[in-house]
């Protein structure tokens, strides 16, 4: 009767994989549980079999841990990725995370002995789920850091956006109260009153933006859908911003077909979306540039496009465009007023309507913002529960902008130029 090896019996009962390594990390022994962990037969893991499955980027750490243990006689731990073989017919490659703790097999350590002849025993445990949780935790911490940074930027921006107009209002109003002592004539008084009015309106717009964003984030912003003609709203918004564009030496162009149908949406929200998009385009387009506002119907969606020849947005900033209080300052070498809420409000209002926003941009070429809005947002919201998780109006793929489509490419029948 052959007496079983007690160590081999012990390794057979362990849930962790036990391996024995010789020179250069070659596997001399591996416990049977390795078959289920790595999806491979025992003989496929012997010799260089295990090493060949280690992720290419983790192989130096894997071998260093074994070598350091053999040379110093001290235990070492390391984490690395190993390829897990998939069932026959499954071509997908899967890597799992392994934690390995290795120790010298012969406890009678002799520093003068050749380290290559020493054997190292290693215990391996799968930690894929733990690594996934660690990644999620790191992402959560990263998101928290971004939120804190956004709050800091917001406070810094608000310090400028609120104090500057308030100082102007206080200063000019004090001058008006001392008009006799300062000998301010009627014309100058009227000018100061006009500046106070304009500054107050700017301050009100900033405060309204903050309140709207707060309502959207708290899901307390309510929309009142109604049928209306979107073409007329677009015309009115362009008319409203024509003077602002002219003062900035910009061409504001409308490119819309005749006979656009009515849509069912919140008219005030639709107007606010357009004002924010066009104002942003004006703000970030250099003098002599062009801003084009277009609209069309695409299936069950009403599509609005605001395109400019401005400074553009960097690829690293594009994913964050639409985050509250975020401003892509790196795309422009001049300071721009604003709290960074314009596109955030647009994004929030579109979400309430079941719509989407898509941005294409390149530095120095310009930016194109495409808004997809359901023609009937009431029906869209009713169907949302039935098709939850699916986009109501997925944007059609748009290539990255290499050249801006100039207004001259639009049929002259549907083109109205608003410029100085």
Q: Give 302's pLDDT tier (boundaries 50, 70, 90).
A: very high
Write the DSSP symbol of residue 385: T
- State how far Cα 143 lies from the chain centre: 11
Sign, CA dihedral 35-38-44-48, equals: negative
Q: What is the mean predicted confidence (pLDDT) over 369-387? A: 76
pLDDT score of 331 = 47
Is pLDDT of 237 > 80? yes
Contact yes or no for 199/165 (Cβ under 8 A): yes
The CATH code of the domain that includes 380 is 3.30.565.10
Tell me the sheet residues that pair with 18. 123
pLDDT given for residue 138 in this prediction: 92
* Domain carrying residue 159: 149-217
Look at residue 218 and tell me whether its pLDDT is greater than 80: no
Cβ atoms of 16 and 33 within 8 Å: the answer is yes
Q: Is residue 357 part of a domain?
A: yes
If you search the block for the tokens 């120790």, which residue do you land on? 103
Task: Report yes or no: 322 and 343 within 8 Å, Cβ to Cβ.
Answer: yes
114 and 203 in a single domain? The answer is: no
* Complete DSSP assignment for 360-394: EEETTTEEEEEEEEESBHHHHHHHHTTTTTS-SSP
- For 107-128, what is the mean pLDDT? 76
pLDDT tens-digit series, residues 24-76: 889 999 998 898 889 889 999 999 999 999 999 999 999 999 999 988 888 99
Q: List the beta bridge partners of residue 101.
A: 77, 123
Q: What's residue 61's pLDDT?
A: 93
- Find out whether 184 and 175 touch, Cβ atoms under 8 Å: yes
Given the DSSP bridges, would you call strands 263-265 and 226-228 parallel, antiparallel or unpaired?
antiparallel
* Co-location of 198 and 162 in the same domain: yes
| Minimum mean pLDDT range among 89-103, 357-371, 383-397 | 383-397
Tell which of 217, 237, 253 closes a domain. Answer: 217
pLDDT digits (tens, 9 = 90+) for 138-149: 999 988 888 788
User: Which is nearest to 199 in space by CA: 174, 157, 237, 162?
Assistant: 162
Whether 1 maps to a domain, the answer reads no
Do residues 260 and 119 both lie within one domain? no
Whether the predicted model's global pTM rises above the 0.75 cut: no
CATH number reported for the structural domain that contains residue 15 in this entry: 3.30.450.20
**Whether 119 contacts 21, CB under 8 Å:** yes
Whether 134 maps to a domain, the answer reads no
| pLDDT of residue 307 exceeding 80 | yes
The answer to whether residue 132 is domain-embedded is no
Does the residue 249 lie in any domain? Answer: yes
Residue where one domain finishes, among candidates 193, 217, 241: 217
- Lowest mean per-residue pLDDT among 4-13, 51-60, 282-291: 4-13
Q: Give the pLDDT score at 420.
A: 32
Residue 62: the pLDDT is 93
Is residue 82 within 8 Å of residue 94, measured between CB atoms?
Answer: no
Q: Is the pLDDT of residue 21 over 70?
A: yes
Query: Are 103 and 161 in a shared domain?
Result: no
Q: Are residues 277 and 370 in the same domain?
A: yes
Higher-pLDDT residue of 114 and 155 is 155
Q: Does residue 345 belong to any structural domain of this protein?
A: yes
Q: Give one DSSP letter per residue of 257-278, joined into a string.
A: -S-PPPEEE-HHHHHHHHHHHH
186-217 and 342-353 are packed helices; what angle lies between their axes, rounded to 10 degrees? Answer: 50
Q: What CATH number does the domain containing 204 carry?
A: 1.10.287.130
CB atoms within 10 A of CB 60: 11
Distance of alpha carbon 121 from alpha carbon 104, whole angstroms: 6
Contact 61, 81 (CB under 8 A): no
The CA distances from residue 131 to 36, 57, 98, 237, 393, in Å, are 20, 17, 10, 52, 36
Which pair of structure tokens corresponds to residue 33? 């549980």
pLDDT tens, position by position, 393-420: 554 443 333 333 333 333 333 333 333 3
Phi/psi at 121 (nearest 5 deg)? -100, 140
CB contact at 8 A, 81 and 95:
yes
The answer as to whether 139 is a domain residue is no
The total number of structural domains in the chain stands at: 3
* β-bridge mates for residue 97, sequence order: 81
Residue 274 within any structural domain of the chain:
yes
300 shares a domain with 184: no
What gap in Å lies between CA 187 and CA 408, rounded to an integer?
44
């Amino acid at each position: 009767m052959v007496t079983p090896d007690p160590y081999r019996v012990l390794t057979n009962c362990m849930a962790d994989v036990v391996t024995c390594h010789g020179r250069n990390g070659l596997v001399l022994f591996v416990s049977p549980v390795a078959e289920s962990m790595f999806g491979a037969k025992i003989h496929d893991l012997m010799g260089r079999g295990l090493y060949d499955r280690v992720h290419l980027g983790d192989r130096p750490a894997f071998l260093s841990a074994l070598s350091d243990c053999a040379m110093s006689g001290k235990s070492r731990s390391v984490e690395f990725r190993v390829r897990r073989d998939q069932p026959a017919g499954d071509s997908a490659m899967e890597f799992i995370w392994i934690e390995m703790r290795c120790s010298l097999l012969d406890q009678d350590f002799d520093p003068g002995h050749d380290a290559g002849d020493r054997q190292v025993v290693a215990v391996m445990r799968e930690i894929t789920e733990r690594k996934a949780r660690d990644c999620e935790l790191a992402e959560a911490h990263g998101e928290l850091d971004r939120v804190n940074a956004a709050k800091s930027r917001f406070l810094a921006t608000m310090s400028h956006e609120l104090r500057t107009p308030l100082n102007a209002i206080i200063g000019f109003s004090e001058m008006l109260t001392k008009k006799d002592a300062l000998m301010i004539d009627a014309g100058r008084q009227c000018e100061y009153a006009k500046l106070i009015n304009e500054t107050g309106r700017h301050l009100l717009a900033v405060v309204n933006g903050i309140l709207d964003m707060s309502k959207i984030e708290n899901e307390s912003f309510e929309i009142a859908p109604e049928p209306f003609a979107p073409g007329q709203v677009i015309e009115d918004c362009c008319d409203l911003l024509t003077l602002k564009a002219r003062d900035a030496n910009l061409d504001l162009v409308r490119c819309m077909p005749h006979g656009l149908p009515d849509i069912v949406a919140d008219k005030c929200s639709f107007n606010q979306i357009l004002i924010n998009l066009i104002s942003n385009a004006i703000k970030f387009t250099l003098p002599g540039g062009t801003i084009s506002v277009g609209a069309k119907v695409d299936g069950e969606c009403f599509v609005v496009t605001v395109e400019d020849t401005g400074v553009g947005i960097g690829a690293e900033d594009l994913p964050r465009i639409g985050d509250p209080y975020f401003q892509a300052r790196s795309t422009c070498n001049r300071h721009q007023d604003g709290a960074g809420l314009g596109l955030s409000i647009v994004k929030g209002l579109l979400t309430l309507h079941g719509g989407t926003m898509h941005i294409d941009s390149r530095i120095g070429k310009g930016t194109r913002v495409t808004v997809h809005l359901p023609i009937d947002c009431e029906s869209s919201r009713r169907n949302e529960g039935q098709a939850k998780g699916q986009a109501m109006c997925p944007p059609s793929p748009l290539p990255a902008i290499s050249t801006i489509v100039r207004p001259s490419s639009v049929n002259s029948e549907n083109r109205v130029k608003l410029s100085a």
